Structure formats: C-alpha cells, structure tokens
Amino acid sequence: MQQDLFSQLDTALANRAALIEQLASEQTNAYRLFHGGIEGVRGLTIDRYNDMILVQTFHRTLSPEQLEEIQAFYARTYPDCVLVYNDRSHSSGRVINRLTEAEEIIAYEPRIAQEFGVDYRIQGRHNMPNPWLLLDTRAVRRRIMQEAAGKSVLNPFAYTSSAGIAAAKAGARHVVNIDFSEANIQIGKNNAKLNDLPIRVRFVQSDAFAALNQLSGKGQPAMVRGKRMPSFPKMEPQQFELLILDPPRVSKSPFGVVDVLNDYASVFKPALLSTKEGGTMICCNNVAQVSREAWLAQMERSAAKAGRPIQSMEWINPDSDFPTSDGPHPLKIALLRV
C-alpha cells in the first residue's frame, strides 16, 4: 500500500458523496465504499450494507495494522455500523480468517439492507462465497423496476432472486425465478416474505438450460445421446415480456455449458426464444476480456440466426461506486428490445 490507507478511504468516500445522497433519496443503504486496485489497494473491497461494513480481501491478506486502520476510519465515519472482515485471498475464494466468538456473533447475525425501497436479507458470513445482494448489478435492478410494471418477468440464473423480487415490488404481474441451488432459492423466498409484494412470486429450483429449453418450446428430453438426464421440474412453454440474463462466467451441467467468455450465445439463444416478440431482455457480461462491441455482435448474430433480430439496444452503466480505470467497465449491461 503505497499511500496512506486512511487518506485513500477518505478520498473514496468523498468521491461517492453525490451518489450516496442520490441512493438515500432512492431508499438505498447498500453500496460500495472502496473498490480495490482502482482506488489504490489491489484486492480490497469495502461495502456498506445498512448497519454493516463488509471488508473483503482477494489475492492478499490485510496486516493487523491495516485492518485496525480500516476499523478506525469507519468507526469515525459510520459509528453506528459494525464491521466484518472476510479474508478470501485463498485461491478457492473461500473465507479463511478466523473470528473471535464476539466477532462471529456479529458476522452471522441476520440483517436487512434496503435498495430502492426493497428489503433484502444479508449476513456478513454464511456458507456461500459471495454476498447475498451483489451491489455491482444495482443499475440492473433500478432499470428492472422502471420496466417491470404489468409485465411477465423471467429471471434465470437468479442467484438469490434479487432482480425478481425487485420486479415484483415494482408491479410485475408474473415473476419466475430459476436457480439450481436450493440455498439460493430459499434466500429468495425469505426475501419475498420480507416485502409486501402485490403478487405471489414463483421460485423454481432447476438447471437454467433445462428450464429455458422447456419455456422456449424446444423441450428438454429425458434421454440425450442414450444417457438419462438428471431429474428436472417440468415446465410448460411460455414466453415472457421481460427477461434478465446474468449467467455465471463458467458453469457445466449435463444440460449445457455456460462459457460467457467464449460462447455467450449458448445461453442467449434459449433466453431469447423464451422472450415474447416485442419484449425486453436485460443482459449482463462481467468478463473483462470481452469488449462490449464484440459481445453485442455475438448477440446480434445469435438473434439473427434464431429469426429474432434485435430491434434496438441501450447500454446501461454501473453506478459510480464501481469505478474503472481509463478502460471500459468490465461489467457490461445491454438492454435489448427483441
């Protein structure tokens, strides 16, 4: 750490003053306070979730002196917040630092953060590697809430279903969240219960390919090349007016392979065919090696081959608490009218 850490944290907070004021007016108390190497400390991220400051390190571990400096800074700037430190510098990305008994109570205590008036459950630590509310996609959820009223919404690769819950809160008439993880689905259900939603949101624990193949009308056979597929929920063909597509970087299953770097079309095509003509897709790609022009060209080719050309598109920029260097933002968000 080349410069004084206290000064770096102070500069980062000052740079966010206008955004934090805007977010407060949007009923949001969750945002990034410090963003890694872009703001001077590679591998360090600091997020605020309501009354908790979540400090995480990747690639390297904080020294006791550095952690004390961070604790002192936020004790001064956010005196009503507790602080949780997760050292994820191991190659597995799992948390490796031990906590005292008192620190564990704080880290595992269920809390509630708010974004655009929607409540989400959070914990400083749990049995999954990532926070339950991913802050870099806040701009996606903001736009979803602007688009969702009166529409049917599909959220495959839903993770904890934050996008689907936001859509329901904004007045969507029908929302389906799909995720393969039972734990993710349960968090989504808990979030739905937290909020006074005008509809009953549907949660489906399923491989996304199996679900999209059925919804798109292609169908998902029980046998493929002579091999029986794992069991999967049966779903009737259905197209949606708004679809959120935010797949993981890499994922493999008997039903299909997600490879956002090399083959975004493998997930884009079935998602497109599950979207009504005249509908909207909000698509994400968080792989820095892929330019947004190349990614858009992939989607345009895939849509043309499927006979569903893209009618118009709009880039959505992440909020400024996720700054970049002079280059393009690694998170690319495209709103497509299809």
Residue ranges of domains in the chain, CATH in brackets: 5-122 (3.30.750.80), 135-337 (3.40.50.150)
Phi, psi at residue 105, to the nearest 5°?
Answer: -60, -45
Per-residue tens of pLDDT for the chain, all 338 residues: 346 899 999 999 999 999 999 999 999 999 999 998 899 899 999 999 999 999 999 989 999 999 999 999 999 999 999 999 999 998 888 888 999 999 999 999 999 999 999 999 999 999 888 999 999 999 999 999 999 999 999 999 999 999 999 999 999 999 999 999 999 999 999 999 999 899 999 999 999 999 999 999 999 999 998 899 999 999 999 999 999 999 999 999 999 999 999 999 999 999 999 999 999 999 999 999 999 999 999 999 999 999 999 999 999 999 999 999 877 889 999 999 99
Determine if the pTM surpasses 0.85.
Answer: yes
Q: Name residues whose C-beta falls within 8 Å of residue 260's C-beta, 6 or more positions apart in sequence.
A: 247, 248, 249, 250, 267, 285, 286, 287, 290
To which H or E segment does residue 155 belong?
Answer: strand 152-155
Q: Count other C-beta atoms under 10 Å from residue 174's C-beta.
A: 18
Element (H, E) at 175: strand 174-179
Query: Beta partners for 119?
Result: 114
